[in-house]
Structure 1
Amino acid sequence: MTSRISLLPPVEGQAVQGLPDFAHHYAEVNGVRLHYVEGGSGEPVVLLHGWPFTWLEFRATMPLLAAAGYRVIAPDLRGFGFSDKPESGYRKTNVARDVAELVERLGSAPVNLVGQDIGMMVAFALAASRPELVRKAVLGEALIPGYGLEDYMDPARGGYGHFAHHMQVDLATRQTEGCEEEFLGPTWDMMSASKDKSWTRELLAAFQAPGAMRGGFQHYGTLLEDIEESRDLLGENKLAMPVLTVNGEYGIPAAQTAGSVARVAEPSRFEQDIVPGSGHTLGEDNPAWYAARLDRFFRS
C-alpha cells in the first residue's frame, strides 16, 4: 500500500531545512513559474537535475560548493518539484530557455553549468543555443539527443527499456499515478549506490503531488523532436566552452556519455572523469569527491 506524504510548497525566501545558508525562491520565466534553491556567494554554478528527481538530487553537494566559494543555484525544471507543470513546452530547447531566462533574471551570467540525466540534455541545449551564458559545462549520466541518444532508445536493439515506457506519456502516467512509491522506490534503489535512501522520502512527496508523474514523463515525450532540434543547434560547429563529462562508477557507462559529448566538444577543451563508488546519482552518492572535481574543473 502506497504511503502518501504531504509536502507544502515553501514560501519565497524560506530557509531550506537542513541547509541553513540556502533559501527557496520562485521566478516567472518563459511563461512558467520556476522554483529554485539558492545559497552561497561567488562565481555562479547552476545545477540541473534529472529524472526522477528535483533540485534535491544535489542537496548533499550544494553546501560543499558554497563552502568552496560559489553561488549555487538549483532549479526544479518545469514539470518537477515545486515548479509549474504545464501540458506543453518540454522540448529541451524550450526548457533551456526557462533556465536561460532564470540566469538572466538573477544577473548571474556567465555560469558554470552542470547537467545530469535529463538535465544534461537541457544543459547541452542551453550551452549550444546561448553560449554567452555558459562559462563551463559539466555533462553527466546521459547522452545528447541527436548525438547518440537515439542509438539507445530502442529496447528491441539493446537500448534502455524505460524510453519505450516513459515516451508514452498518457500510458505511463495512468500506470504510475497512485502507486508512485512502488514504481519509484525500486528505481531509486537501482540508481543510487548509497545504502541510505532516507533522502528519497521528500522526493517521493514531490512525485505524489498532482501532475508530478506526468510532468516528469513529458520530458521523455518530446525526445523525438529533441533529436531533430539538437542537430540544428550547432550545425558543423562545436560547443564554445570547456566541457567535462562525469559519470558514476556504477552509473551509465562512461564511454556512452563521453562518446556522445565528444561529437560536440572541442577535443582540446574536453575532459572526462568517473565518480568513484557512485551510481547514477552523482551528487548524492559521493558528494565530497563530486564537489571537489567540479571545483577543480571550474578553477582550471
Structure 2
Amino acid sequence: MTSVDATHVLHDGPWRHRFVSANGARFHVAEAGAGPLVVLLHGFPQMWWCWRYQLPALAAAGYRVAAMDLRGYGASDKPPRGYDTPTLAADVAAVIRSLGESDAVVVGHDWGGWISWSMPSLEPGVTRAVGAVSMAHPLAMRRSVRRYRNQAAASRYVWAFQLPFRPERRLVHPGTVEGLLRNGSGTDWPGDDEDGATVVQAYTDAMRVPFVAHSSMEYYRWAVRSTWRADGRSFVERVDRPIDVPVLHLQGVHDPAVLAQTARRSGDWARGGYEYLEVPDAGHFLPEERPDVVNAALLTWLGSLDTA
C-alpha cells in the first residue's frame, strides 16, 4: 500500500498553516481570525480538516481559531509514546501557551472531546471553557460500557483495536476509512454537501501518512490497558471531580459509537454551567454532518461566555 507524506493534509482554505513547538514535540495548527482563542481538537479517523466549516465561521465572528493535529496525526509529530490522556492534555496546554495565550476555550470532537472533557481537571490553568462534540465525559463512557449492554455493544470495536498490527493494516486498506465515516454518520454524509470522493480521499490519505494508523490505535490501547494500571487509576481520580468552567455538549441522536443516553450522563460532572444539545437525524461526525447546527451552537455559547 502506497503511503503519502504529511504535506497531503495541508489543505488550502481561509486559514494559515503553522507549526509550533510544545511539550517536546512539533504540532501542526491551522489558524484563522483574531480575538479570544478557541482551540479545536479532532477525533478518529480524522485530522484538523474536520473543522473546515467552523474555522471561517468562528474567525468571522471575532475569534482566533486554531485547529490542531493531535499527537500522532496529520502533520504533527508522531513519537513512539505519549498517547495517554494526561500527555495529550499537556500537549494542548503547551500549544495554547506556544500560541502566545494564557488560556483558551477548548472544543473537541470524538477523542478531541475526551481530551477537552479532561482539560479542566488536568490543565485547569489554561482552560477557560470546554466544548465536547460526540463524546461523553470519560467516566460516563467508562461506566456506561461496564453497566449497559447497548453501550458495551456500541464500543466493541475498541476491543478489536487492542490487537497488534491487524488494526493498523486494515486502516490503510482501501475502503476502511470510508466505511468508518459512512457507518458512523446518521445521514448520507460524506457526499451530500460536497464531493464525497474528496472527503473520503482526504481522510484516507491522512491515515496513510506514515505512523498515523499506529498512533491512532495507541489512544484506544492506553484507554483500555491503563484501566488496571496505576496511571489509569490516577487519571480516573483526577477527572472524577466537578468541572467548574462552562461546558457545551453536542450529541447526535443517532451516534452509533457514543450513545445519546451515555452522553446525557455527562452532566453529573458539569457544575460551572452546562448546555446540552441533541441533534436529530445526525450521527457521530457532527462538525461535518451538521455544520450549520454546530456553528450556530458554538457561536451562541461563545457569545454568552464573552458577555458573562
SS of the equivalent of 1:89 reads coil
CA contact 1:146–1:230 (8 Å) conserved in 2: no
Map of 2:184 onto structure 1: 191
Map of 2:261 onto structure 1: 255
Structure 2: unaligned runs, 5 residues or longer: none
Task: Map 1:18-57 to 2 at 5 A.
Answer: 19-20=13-14, 22-57=15-50
Task: Work out the CA distance in 1 between the residues paired with 2:116 and 2:170.
Answer: 28
Task: Map 1:63-82 to 2 at 5 A.
Answer: 63-82=56-75
Map of 1:220 onto structure 2: 220
More off after superposition, 53-62 vs 275-284? 275-284
Q: CA deviation at 1:195?
A: 4.5
Map of 1:132 onto structure 2: 125
Tell me the amino acid that sits aligned with residue 170 of structure 1.
F
Task: Work out the CA distance in 1 between the residues paired with 2:252 and 2:33.
Answer: 26
Structure 1: unaligned runs, 5 residues or longer: none
Task: Work out the CA distance in 2 between the residues paired with 1:247 and 1:211.
Answer: 30
Q: CA deviation at 1:83?
A: 1.0
SS of the equivalent of 1:72 reads strand
CA contact 2:3–2:210 (8 Å) conserved in 1: no
Given the alignment of the two structures, is residue 241 of structure 1 paired with residue 245 of structure 2, yes or no?
Answer: yes
More off after superposition, 205-214 vs 132-141? 132-141
Q: CA deviation at 1:159?
A: 4.6
Map of 1:117 onto structure 2: 110
Q: What TM-score do you get using the length of structure 1 for normalisation? A: 0.87
SS of the equivalent of 1:262 reads helix
Task: Work out the CA distance in 2 between the residues paired with 1:46 and 1:164.
Answer: 30
CA contact 1:45–1:113 (8 Å) conserved in 2: yes
Given the alignment of the two structures, is residue 294 of structure 1 paired with residue 298 of structure 2, yes or no?
Answer: yes
Q: CA deviation at 1:147?
A: 3.6
Identity score, percent: 26
Quick one: structure 1 residues 6 and 158, their matched pair in 2 at CA, closer, same or farther if it must change by over 3 Å? closer
Task: Work out the CA distance in 1 between the residues paired with 2:164 and 2:111.
Answer: 16
Quick check: which one's helix share is greater? 2
CA contact 1:100–1:133 (8 Å) conserved in 2: yes
SS of the equivalent of 1:199 reads helix
2:95 is aligned, of 93, 102, 115, to 102
Map of 1:232 onto structure 2: 237
Quick one: structure 1 residues 277 and 94, their matched pair in 2 at CA, closer, same or farther if it must change by over 3 Å? same
Task: Work out the CA distance in 1 between the residues paired with 2:164 and 2:219.
Answer: 9
Task: Work out the CA distance in 1 between the residues paired with 2:135 and 2:242.
Answer: 19
Q: What TM-score do you get using the length of structure 2 for normalisation? A: 0.85
Tell me the amino acid that sits aligned with residue 292 of structure 1.
A
Tell me the amino acid that sits aligned with residue 172 of structure 1.
P
Q: CA deviation at 1:158?
A: 3.2
CA contact 1:27–1:35 (8 Å) conserved in 2: yes
2:170 is aligned, of 143, 162, 176, to 176
CA contact 2:39–2:65 (8 Å) conserved in 1: yes
Task: Work out the CA distance in 1 between the residues paired with 2:46 and 2:242.
Answer: 29
After superposition, the CA RMSD in angstroms is 2.5
SS of the equivalent of 1:79 reads coil
Map of 1:9 onto structure 2: 7
Q: CA deviation at 1:23?
A: 0.9
Q: CA deviation at 1:128?
A: 1.3
How many correspondences in the alignment? 288
CA contact 2:16–2:30 (8 Å) conserved in 1: yes
- Per-residue CA deviation, residues 1-28 of structure 1 (Å, 9 max, x unaligned), is x7x57455279xx8x51x23x1111112
Task: Work out the CA distance in 2 between the residues paired with 1:183 and 1:79.
Answer: 19
SS of the equivalent of 2:268 reads coil
Tell me the amino acid that sits aligned with residue 71 of structure 1.
R
Tell me the amino acid that sits aligned with residue 47 of structure 2.
T
Task: Map 1:264-283 to 2 at 5 A.
Answer: 264-266=269-271, 269-283=273-287
Quick one: structure 1 residues 155 and 7, their matched pair in 2 at CA, closer, same or farther if it must change by over 3 Å? farther
2:160 is aligned, of 162, 165, 175, to 165
Q: CA deviation at 1:165?
A: 1.1
